[in-house]
Structure 1
Amino acid sequence: MSKGRILKVKESAIAVITQNETDFISLTDMTSSFNESSGLIGKWITNKNTLEYLGAWEKINNSSFNYPEFGVIGQEAGVNRFIMSVGQWIQRTKAIGLVVKAGRYGGTYAHKDIAFHFAMWLSPEFQIYLINEFQRLKEDENNRLKLGWDLQRTLSKVNYHIHTDAIKENLIPLEITRQQANIVYANEADLLNVAIFGITAKEWKDTNPDKKGNIRDYATLEQLVVLSNMESINALLIRQSLTQSERLKQLNKVAITQMKSLLESKALKKLK
Structure 2
Amino acid sequence: MNALATSSPRGAAGRLLAPYVAELKAELRRAWRTPAFVLPCLLFPVLFYLVFGVMLGNRQAASYLLATYCVFGAMGPALFGFGVQLAMDRATGLLTLKRALPVPPLAPLLARMLMAVMFAMGVAALLMIAAMAVGGVPLVAMQMVGLLGVAALVALPLGAVGMLIGCHVGAEASPAVVNLVYLPLALLSGLWIPLSVLPVVFSSIAPLWPTWHAAQLALPIMGHAASGNGGAHVLVLLAVTVVFALLAARRLRRIG
Answer 1 or 2: which has greater helix percent: 2
TM over 0.5: no
Q: Higher Cα Rg: structure 1 or 2? A: 1
What TM-score does the superposition give when structure 1 sets the normalisation length?
0.29
What TM-score does the superposition give when structure 2 sets the normalisation length?
0.30
Q: RCO (CA 8 Å, sep 6+): is it higher in 1 or 2?
A: 2
